[in-house]
Structure 1
Amino acid sequence: MSVALPKPLAISVSVMLEGWTDDSAPGIGPMGNPLKPGVLDLQARSWAEYGPKAGAWRLLDILHKLEVRSVFYVSGILAERYPDLMKAIVGAGHAVAAHGWGQNIIPSYQTAAEEAHDLQRCVKAIEQSTGRSPPGWLSPRCTPSDRTSALLAKSGFDWHADFFDQDLPRRHSTPDGMITAVPFTMEVNDMPLYVRYGAEPEAFTRTFERIAGNWPRLGLPQGCLDITVHAHVFGRPFGAIEFMNCLEAVQRYDEWAWLTDHQTLAGLCKAG
């Protein structure tokens, strides 16, 4: 059963705060050309570390200035290493959801025991740094295993965002109980647009406005759209400016669109 939205287009704001284990680095970085297999890319590691050290703080400032609430999807390894940042995120009124232990650890590659272990240490790190259990989950690379939803339901999570097959949140049955499946859209996301496809920063807002501005032409269906930035990518000045532009653009479509976040959508779905 899907949720009925207050307005046709729900626009969720999410910040990805991602970390890698010490023996790994992002597979995609600004240099473009990957190093030889077996060589640790220290440039990519340093690039990624901008997220917790500078980018997340800038994005927090923007969200505060525009009075926008977001979900921060956080790697457990960063929750453990940057407790002051975690406290600042929660103190500003944002939700901290789980994004795996490290970005190089993909659930679909793991055994059941490995996945359960990494999920629990991610939860523990977030609990210890924020004082709260993470209510939601998004897998590294958005790629769960065939048992992830059941493991999350069993562990007490409210929502799971590794879903791309429908337009609205819905209750999802697993062998270990129910969980809310929150759809995650990739169209307004700095990682594919800027890093993978090489688009200029302005493509972020253009893509958003193409969708939101033309929503009435589609018949004003009920649906979800994500505005997603990574702290180590659009947390930098060139991207933060565009993130701000995009959030401000939402006001032009407030007749049929509204700003929200995955936690709010999951709550509406569960209540309905």
Structure 2
Amino acid sequence: MTAPLTQTPRYPFWPIAKDRGFTLPGDARVGLIVYLNVEHFPIDVPAPAHAIYPGTTHMVPDILNYGWRDYGNRVGLWRMMELFGDVGIRPSVNLHADVCHEYPELIEAGEALGWEWIAQSHTAGAILTAMPEDRAREIIEGSVGIIEQATGRRPKGWMGSHLAETPETPDLLAEAGIEYCSDYACDDQPFAMRVRSGSLISMPYALEANDVPGVLGKGLTAQDFAQLLIDQFDELYEEGAAIPRVMPVSLHPFISGHAFRTRHLRRAFRHIVGHDGIWIGTCGELNEWYRRTRGADPERPQQERRA
């Protein structure tokens, strides 16, 4: 009888207290990565689990929840563009491929600002879990291809809708040329994953410093959420004097793009970027840095640092 799995076979257990030899550019104490989720929610399917009002999620069309989300692309995203420009942040964009043809103006605006595109399936409904391997491969390659066609660049990163995977997903990502994945929100540093061929880096992602579970799940006010980000940074900044940390923040325009929340986000980000000893960048930049300085072997977390 085969023993049940108690840990993921995708990476070894290496606690952060063990010296992994990880550094940040400029020997920074904290690296800030801001994920911006730019998504398409079709009007002719039931709303996903997170909704501003659950009472209408069984309706098709669900005009109430659709309108709330559509505000994010029509208004909230543009407000957040100004916020990021204000505080000097270039977001890592988790992009639904359907945005490329549904809202081409968003792609055009992001391209002008030099945003980094991370593939995130086609829509919120394209969830990989329980799909056969061939269908999951088709979803991955199809969404990556659409983004490449729209932007002229093939995405190197992936985040699954709802962070959902099949057991084979990391292998399929590496097979498709994806270099990093943000599905595993289990660490304050990047780390290499085990895949059948090629290589794949797990990039830190936020489940707590994230406006969906924070605002919708826990009912945090705009002030509360901003203070959460400040407290998270302040603690990581102290810890980062000994072991450098990455602070991911995950935002959604239909939540954080409302004016009263953006005002408090600006306060939090100004607090963070006002410190010395921080690095602000994208997942792609951190992926390149990690591969250059640490390599991509999941079995050698303490390999010698390279210049």
Same fold (TM over 0.5): yes
1:9-66 deviation line (CA, Å, top 9, x unaligned): 2111111112234423232211243544x75423212211222222222211221232
d(CA) in 2 for partners of 1:57 and 1:2? 39
The answer (yes or no) to whether the contact 2:194–2:200 under 8 Å persists in 1 is yes
Correspondence for 1:213: 234
Partner of 1:4: 23
Alignment of 1:39-78 (within 5 A): 39-78=60-99
Whether 1:244 aligns to 2:266 is: yes
- In structure 1, C-alpha distance between the alignment counterparts of 2:260 and 2:48, rounded to whole Å: 20
The alignment's TM-score, normalised by the length of structure 1, stands at 0.91
Percent of aligned pairs sharing the same letter: 20
Aligned to 1:267: 288
Larger strand share, 1 or 2:
1
Among 223, 234, 240, the alignment partner of 1:202 is 223
Aligned-CA RMSD value: 2.0
For 1:49-198, list aligned pairs within 5 A: 49-198=70-219
Deviations, residues 83-141 of structure 1 (Å, cap 9, x unaligned): 22112102101101111111122111322122122222211221222121112111111
Conserved in 1, the CA contact under 8 Å of 2:30 and 2:237? no
The one-letter code of the counterpart of 1:142 is L
Matches of 1:86 and 1:10 in 2, distance apart? 26
Q: Is the 8 A contact 2:116 2:284 kept in 1?
A: yes
Give me the whole-angstrom Cα distance separating, in 2, the residues matched to 1:203 and 1:233: 14
1:215 & 1:67 partners in 2: Cα distance? 20
How many Å separate the matches in 1 of 2:240 and 2:86?
33
Query: Counterpart of 1:23?
Result: 45
Unaligned runs of 5+ in 2: 1-19, 294-307
Q: TM-score, normalised to structure 2's length?
A: 0.81
Q: Distance in 2 between matches of 1:83 and 1:75?
A: 12
Q: Which residue of 2 aligns with 1:229?
A: 251
Runs of at least 5 residues in structure 1 that lack an aligned partner in the other structure = none
